[in-house]
Amino acid sequence: MLKQYSFEETAVQSFDAQTTLALKTEDLQVFYGANHAMHDANLGFPKNQITALIGASGSGKSTYLRSLNRMNDGIATVTGKIWYHGVNINEPNVNIYEIRKHIGMVFQRPNPFSKSIRENIVYALKANGVKSKADLDERVEKSLRGAALWDEVKDTLDKSALSLSGGQQQRLCIARSIAMAPDVLLLDEPCSALDPISTVKVEETLLELQKQYTIIIVTHNMQQAARVSSQCAFFHLGHVMEYTPTGTMFSNPQIPVTQDYIAGSFG
């Protein structure tokens, strides 16, 4: 039987003016019809850090993450503010296509296009007007290097992306995202479909990528959160209960619900 925890008792950090935030949400609410799936999420994401979102299945992590680049448009109603470079991007008149180029996303199941490896990366670039072959080749190499995939595929760029292993496919999806030169990267349980070795590769990739990108990663693997993230937010039944530096979260959780979750009593 799941214990009842008060949603009033939360421990959510905010950042001082010295910390540059790449993205910040203010009173973010998400509704799937009548289902109020996310309540008052107030989170800031420090630039060039990895923030992990943890919590039990169904606690609203994906719901929250997908709201950040407006992928919930047409699926859910999202209210509240999402601040990005001083602009509230949760406004109807904001160009969502432009937003998504700046805030990239990698999904739970690797979803490369049924195209060649190269085409996976250049398709969206071409659609955005990058024409020169030299430019495209350079972007392909750079993003594949960024995703630590270059050495494995550099001789087979014209082979089908579907012929890659799951881990390689997921790194290709990361490469595809960073080829758009975003500054925020959202990842929704990117390793849940991968074996441990591929998982390590992806994690190493992320640690390397945080030098250039602000990364927000959903995971329900607490070890993974501990290994890669600097900040950690704990979600419970559609509420953000605790948000602290990752070290604090795992060594000294502030409130009962987090303590129980970390101790493995539920989730």
Partner 1 sequence: MNAKQRDRVATVVIDLIVAAVVGILLFLLVYILSAGLPHVSWQFLTGASDPMSGAGGIGVQLFNSFYLLVLTMLISLPISLGAGIYLAEYAKDNWRTSLIRSAIEVLSSLPSVVVGLFGFLLFVVKFKMGFSVISGAIALTFFNLPLLTRNIEESLSAVSRSQREAGLSLGLSKWKTEIGIILPVALPGIVTGVVLSAGRVFGEAAALIYTAGQSAPVTNFSDWNPMDPASPLNPLRPAETLAVHIWKINTEGMASNAAQLSAAASAILILAVLLFNLGARLLGNFLYRRVTASK
Ligand X SMILES: Nc1ncnc2c1ncn2[C@@H]1O[C@H](COP(=O)(O)OP(=O)(O)O)[C@@H](O)[C@H]1O
Report the residue from 12, 22, 37, 232 that binds ligand X according to the rule CB under 6 A.
37
Residue of 62, 143, 205, 224 interacting with ligand X (CB under 6 A): 62
Q: Is 99 in the site for partner 1 (CB under 8 A)?
A: yes
Which residue number, 182 or 238, has a Cβ lying nearer to partner 1?
182
Establish if 123 lies at the interface with partner 1 (CB under 8 A): yes
| Closest separation in Å from C-beta 123 to partner 1 | 6
- Indicate whether 112 belongs to the interface with partner 1 (CB under 8 A): yes
Work out the burial of residue 170: count CB atoms within 10 Å of its CB; fewer than 13 is exposed, 13-18 middle, 19 or more buried.
buried
Q: Tell me, residue by residue from 52 to 71, as one string, x for binding to partner 1 by CB under 8 A and - for no binding.
A: -----------------x-x
Q: In the stretch 101-120, what mask flags binding to Mg ion with x, by CB under 5 A? A: --------------------
Please tell me whether residue 246 binds ligand X under the rule CB under 6 A. no
Candidates 25, 29, 59, 62: give the one binding Mg ion (CB under 5 A). 62
State which of residues 22, 44, 52, 55 lies at the interface with ligand X (CB under 6 A): 55
In whole angstroms, the minimum distance from the beta carbon of 40 to ligand X comes to: 15
Mapping DSSP onto H, E and C, the string for the chain reads CCCCCCCCCCEECCCCCCCCEEEEEEEEEEEECCEEEEEEEEEEEECCCEEEEEECCCCCHHHHHHHHCCCCCCCCEEEEEEEECCEECCCCCCCHHHHHHHEEEECCCCCCCCCEHHHHHHHHHHHCCCCCHHHHHHHHHHHHHHCCCHHHHCCCCCCEHHHCCHHHHHHHHHHHHHCCCCCEEEEECCCCCCCHHHHHHHHHHHHHHCCCCEEEEECCCHHHHHHHCCEEEEEECCEEEEEEEHHHHHHCCCCHHHHHHHCCCCC
CB of 264 to ligand X, least distance (A): 17
- Which is nearest to 40 in space by CA: 79, 77, 13, 72? 79
Residue 195 interface partner, choices ligand X, Mg ion, partner 1, none, CB cut-off 5-8 Å depending on type: none
Q: Which of 9, 98, 135, 137 binds partner 1 (CB under 8 A)?
A: 98
Give the residues lining the site for partner 1 (CB under 8 A): 69, 71, 97-101, 104-105, 107, 109, 111-116, 119, 123-124, 127-128, 158-163, 173, 176-177, 180
